[in-house]
Every structure is written in structure tokens, then in C-alpha cells.
Amino acid sequence: MKPELRFEIGPIRPPSEAQSLLLRITRNCPWNKCLFCHIYKGKTFQRRKIEEVKSDIDNIWAISNELKELSWRLGEGGQLTRNVLFYVFNHPFNECYRTVALWLYGGGKTVFLQDGNSLVLPAQKLADILFYLREKFPQIERITSYARSRTIARTKKLEDLKLLKEAGLTRLHLGLETGSDFLLNYMRKGVTSQQHIEAGLKVIEAGIELSEYVMPGLGGRKWWKEHAIKTAEVLNRINPHFIRLRTLMVLPQMPLWEKIQKGEFELQTEEEIVIEIRLFIETLEASSYLVSDHILNLLGELEGKIPEEKEKLLKVIDRFLALSEEEKLNFCLGRRAGFYNTLDDMNDLSLYQEVERLKRQLEREYPGGVRQAIFKMKEAFL
């Protein structure tokens, strides 16, 4: 084995890409001014050279071959079985070997392009990388990436996107965040609602799946209604394949934190954000699949097709809102502490009582009590 082989891995990926191979196309974010983001602050954006990315692909290919050779030696017939995975994670292999082993164990069929906006590369250069990737790994079925609406609206022609589709790009993840032009400007998102619409429609016309991210809580207590309604209206125009909720969480290293400290922006409670999401879903008429697949979302079970399953989604929300104040606090703590995944989990009496014991302990011992403890738990999710 040659454990010195490596390839570059960036910091983040969407929750839906947990099983994907991470291939770094750019470093950091070319915009990097959003008030609610801290990931790339203080870091310089860089476009990686095509030769550099192809070298990473070559190393991934070499690592995969070494892992298959290991599989043969372990009597697993060249397959990345659980036994091979166990061996890799219990011997001194570097992160890259473990990443490829996990990817192959999961089928080796999906790839996510990092970092914040791969589409800043000229379409032909990015297509060259994708063709090369699929040549090395013909089993790949899905390639996805983050991108910015402004980049697509201003610099990418429909023909560019169709070329990327032909090269293997199957899905784009766009951070819509909000459809309110006021909030887009306030949060320094660097895009307008019209550009969001133009970009989304262009992606869909090119035949690429579109996943739009919405950030509940981004309007705070002052502008939550405008945020909910305007965001739904923009999505109604776009009709993306997926709408993904990713609730706002503000850390001290985010620029928005300063506005909170000055009293310019006031965070909502968990319940207030749920009420906001209800208004958002009520206003939503897009033909899309709604997903609540981020750990920061309180109600992870909010998943269904709009508009067909809208009533089902609203019933989940109303079920939470109908809980007593003590039950709501119990669920919020249980969800954040990892005891609950769904509202039904509260029906498990032993779980419920365990969360109650934790709640009483936090009230006695934690500075700020249960609600401050929940806030600290959420900080750890970022």
C-alpha cells in the first residue's frame, strides 16, 4: 500500500451529499460577504488549475485500485465490503484513503464538487474536468455542485449549462436563502430576487436538477413575514426540483452577530421559526419536493411533494404548535440533544422521561438554563 497518496478535500458539502466523493474544484467562496456565513471568512478564493484537479482524480483512481487490491488480499474478491472498511479505519491510512473507502463502500456513484461556487470556472474547463472524472470512474451516476445564482444569471449561457449537463453535471445546489430583495441586500447576499429566478429557470431549461436552499429565521422578528411570503413567491416562479430548509444559526464569528449585539437584528425562538415555516408552506405553490434535511431544522420530518402533500406538512407543524409549552421545550431539547428525530418519538415514555431529567438538570446547573443550553447545542452543528 502507498498511504502517501492524497487529494485535496474542502470544508463543507450539502447533507444530501453525505455519501458522495468530494472533489475540490475551487478553494473557498468568490463572494464571501454574506452576513450569516463564517465558513470562508478571512480566506482567499482560488480557482484550482485543471491539471491540479486531474492529478487529484488520478490519485483517487490509484487509491481505489489499492483498496481493491487490499480487498483481494483480505479475501473479499475486490469488493469494498464492511470488513475492508473496518480494516482501513483501524489501520494508519490517511483521510483520503478512508474517504475513498467510504465512497466505494456506498457504491461510488455520486460526486460533489467543492467549494462554494464551482461554476465560476469557464464552462469548457469545468466540462473538461467532468469528462475526465467520468472516464476514470464510468460508474458515476450523479455529479453535483454548489453555485451562485448571480454567476449563472450573469456569466453562464444556456449553452454553457447544457455542455456541463452533457459532461455529467446532474444537479446544482443554489443558496436562495430568501426571496426578499430587502433581506438579500441587508444580508449582503450579492444577488437580487430576479437573478435568483433567471438562474433557476436557466438551470432547469438546461436539464439539470435544481436544489434551492431556504433559510428560515433569516428575517428575524422584524421581517419574518416578508421573508416567508417573498421566498415562497420566488420559488413559485422557479419551480425547482427540490426546496431544502436550512435554519439560520448565528455564531460570534459571523458578521450578523454584531448586528444582533447592537439590537438591529433579533433572533426568533424555535416556535416562531416554525410559525414562519408554516406561512412559507402555505404560500408555496411550486411543483417541488420539500426537504428538511439539515440538523439545524427543528422539524426534520417536514418532507413531501408540493402542492400534493402540503396539508400533510402543515399538520406536522400544527401538531408541534398544539403542544403545551413544557412539551415544546421537551421536544426542542430532545431533538437538539439527539433523543428525538420526529414528534412521534415523544410517545416513547422512557425517552420522554430521560429528556425531562436532562431538562431539570440543565435548569439547575447550566448558566442560562435549558434554552441557553439548546442554543449551545445548535452551535456545535455548524
Q: What is the pLDDT of residues 93-128, one digit of tens each?
A: 999 999 999 999 999 999 999 999 999 999 999 999
Q: What is the pLDDT of residue 138?
A: 97
Name which of 378, 286, 276, 279 is nearest 336 in CA terms. 378
The count of residues in the chain is 382
Q: What is the pLDDT of residue 104?
A: 97
Q: How far apart are CA 7 and CA 15, in angstroms?
A: 21
Assess whether 125 and 110 both reside in one domain: yes
Question: How many structural domains is the chain composed of?
Answer: 2
Q: What mean pLDDT is reported for the chain?
A: 96
Assess whether 187 and 332 both reside in one domain: no
Q: What is the pLDDT of residue 380?
A: 85
Report yes or no on 4 lying in a domain: no
Assess whether 346 and 229 both reside in one domain: no
Q: What is the pLDDT of residue 255?
A: 96
Q: Which residue has the cell 405553490?
A: 285
Report yes or no on 222 lying in a domain: yes
Assess whether 62 and 207 both reside in one domain: yes
Report yes or no on 6 lying in a domain: no
Contact 304, 344 (CB under 8 A): no
Peptide bond into 115 cis (omega under 30): yes
Q: What is the pLDDT of residue 190?
A: 97
Q: Would you state the cell numbers that stand for residue 272, as one nine-digit string?
A: 416562531
Q: Would you state the cell numbers that stand for residue 375, as one nine-digit string?
A: 442554543
Q: What average pLDDT does this structure show over 132-161?
A: 98
CATH number of 81's domain:
3.20.20.70
pLDDT of 13 above 60: yes
Report yes or no on 231 lying in a domain: yes
138-151 pLDDT per residue, tens: 999 999 999 999 99
171-220 pLDDT per residue, tens: 999 999 999 999 999 999 999 999 999 999 999 999 999 999 999 999 99
Q: What average pLDDT does this structure show over 261-284?
A: 97
Report yes or no on 105 lying in a domain: yes
pLDDT of 381 above 90: no
Q: What is the pLDDT of residue 3?
A: 54
Name which of 349, 340, 350, 351 is nearest 377 in CA terms. 340
pLDDT of 382 above 80: no
Name which of 289, 295, 375, 360 is nearest 330 in CA terms. 360
Instruction: Give the 3-state secondary structure of the chain.
Output: CCCCCCCCCCCCCCHHHCCCEEEECEECCCCCCCCCCCCCCCCCCEECCHHHHHHHHHHHHHHHHHHHHHHHHCCCCCCCCHHHHHHHHCCCCCHHHHHHHHHHHCCCCEEEEECCCHHHCCHHHHHHHHHHHHHHCCCCCEEEEEECHHHHHHHCCHHHHHHHHHHCEEEEEEEEECCCHHHHHHCCCCCCHHHHHHHHHHHHHCCCEEEEEECCCCCHHHHHHHHHHHHHHHHHHHCCCEEEECCCCCCCCCHHHHHHHCCCCCCCCHHHHHHHHHHHHHHCCCCEEEECCCCCCCCCCCCEEECCCHHHHHHHHHHHHCCCHHHHHHHHHHHHCCCCCCHHHHHCHHHHHHHHHHHHHHHHHCCCHHHHHHHHHHHCCC
Name the percent of the chain lying above pLDDT 70. Answer: 99
311-354 pLDDT per residue, tens: 999 999 999 999 999 999 999 999 999 999 999 999 999 999 99
Q: How far apart are CA 339 and CA 323, in angstroms?
A: 18
Assess whether 380 and 232 both reside in one domain: no
Assess whether 269 and 363 both reside in one domain: no
Domain extent at residue 97? 15-323
Q: How far apart are CA 353 and CA 358, in angstroms?
A: 9
**Domain end marker among 323, 350, 371:** 323
Q: What is the CA radius of gyration of the chain?
A: 22
207-260 pLDDT per residue, tens: 999 999 999 999 999 999 999 999 999 999 999 999 999 999 999 999 999 999
Q: What is the pLDDT of residue 230?
A: 98
Assess whether 317 and 335 both reside in one domain: no
Name which of 124, 213, 221 is nearest 172 in CA terms. 213
Name which of 194, 24, 189, 42 is nearest 121 in CA terms. 24
Using CA atoms, how far residue 115 sits from 161, 237, 274, 344, 346, in Å, is 18, 28, 30, 37, 38
Assess whether 247 and 163 both reside in one domain: yes
Give the pairing type, strands 26-27 and 209-214. unpaired
Q: What average pLDDT does this structure show over 156-176?
A: 98
Contact 302, 290 (CB under 8 A): yes
pLDDT of 2 above 60: no
